[in-house]
Amino acid sequence: MQIGAHVRAGKGLVPALAHGAEIGAEVVQIFTQSPRTWKPSQYGPDVLDAYREAQDQHPSVHRTFCHATYLINLASPDPELAAKSRACLDANLATAAGMGADGLVLHIGSHRGSGFDQAVPAVVDGLLGALDSVSGVAHACPILLENAAGAGDTVGRSFEELAEVIAAAGGDERLGVCLDTQHLWASGVPFGTVGEADAVVEALRSTVSLERLRCLHLNDSKVPFGANRDRHANIGEGTIGVDGLANLLGRVALQSVPAILEVPGDGDGPRAEDVAAARRTWELGVGRAARPGGGDVDEGSSAPDGTRPSDRTVPDARNG
């Protein structure tokens, strides 16, 4: 599992790679514009080409992901906000695709009381419109729908909701998923034990599918289990703890999925010590999974009790 971190992009984007390398990250995630303003940053083809070239040649940072601005709300019933959200998503995706990013992570937004079913068509229109707007770009970049912490009327607060959005989009292959550990915990899905972590993997497999899981956001939680609030903590300093995170990171089915830190550090984002703590947590999880009875199983193999994944009941991963 490659361990990464959200870092500052820097002028011209390319400094993001150096910032990642400085803290030992193998993967970086960046904002391509301010996460709290509507106005997109403008990058010429020369800047985007330079980033792709620098990424291709970098000796230690192997992948780049982008995160869309927080203001985007594709589920909004307000026509003006919905239109601004679509335009902003189009701009964010154009930059991410031009950079050759492996994915653009997106918070779908909130339906503001209009209801999930009512919001889905607008969400799908916004997603497919953005993806179609970059269909001519040589470097395809998927939109990765992030699970929400469950506050308010957020869309994507369960694996089932994410799966419904993807299904409504016709199962478009350009849509993937980003799993945030803090959001999962806060939305009431446990993974504090090996069995619970296995259940999360099975729930992913039976809803959005593991093939669509493109990255993890690796965060501890400042708030209690089921609190429905988005509050990240440094690894080992929150209510999930090292053991819970290790149980999830050790799952065999997740080993090809990069884990990206979005922790506060000392107030300025992930530090080298945070990346090192994440790598130790992963190593703990892998070691634990390697022991007899210590982990999940691949499709087609038997669990310690003799059952296969398809034979076992998977708990509902919905909030609560």
> What pLDDT is stored for residue 137 in this prediction?
84
> What pLDDT is stored for residue 138 in this prediction?
78
> Where does 103-212 show beta strands of DSSP type E?
104-106, 143-146, 175-180
Hey, which residues does 143 pair with through a beta bridge?
104, 175
User: Which of helix, strand or coil describes residue 176?
Assistant: strand
Asked if 122 contacts 74 with a C-beta cutoff of 8 angstroms, the reply is: yes
Cβ neighbours, 10 Å, residue 237 = 16
Question: Which strand (E) or helix (H) includes residue 274?
Answer: helix 272-290
> What pLDDT is stored for residue 292 in this prediction?
74
Model confidence over 16-41: pLDDT tens digits?
999 999 999 999 999 999 988 999 99
Fold designation for 3-311:
TIM Barrel (3.20.20)
Give which of 244, 149, 241, 146 is closest to 200, Cα–Cα.
244
What are the backbone dihedrals phi and psi of residue 66, each rounded to the nearest 5 degrees, phi first? -115, 155
> What pLDDT is stored for residue 295 in this prediction?
52
Which stretches of the chain drop beneath a pLDDT of 70? 293-320
> What pLDDT is stored for residue 320 in this prediction?
28
Give which of 226, 93, 83 is closest to 151, Cα–Cα.
226
Residues across the chain: 320
Predicted TM-score (pTM) of the model is 0.90
Cα atoms in the Cβ-side hemisphere of radius 13 Å centred on 146:
29
Asked if 69 contacts 37 with a C-beta cutoff of 8 angstroms, the reply is: yes
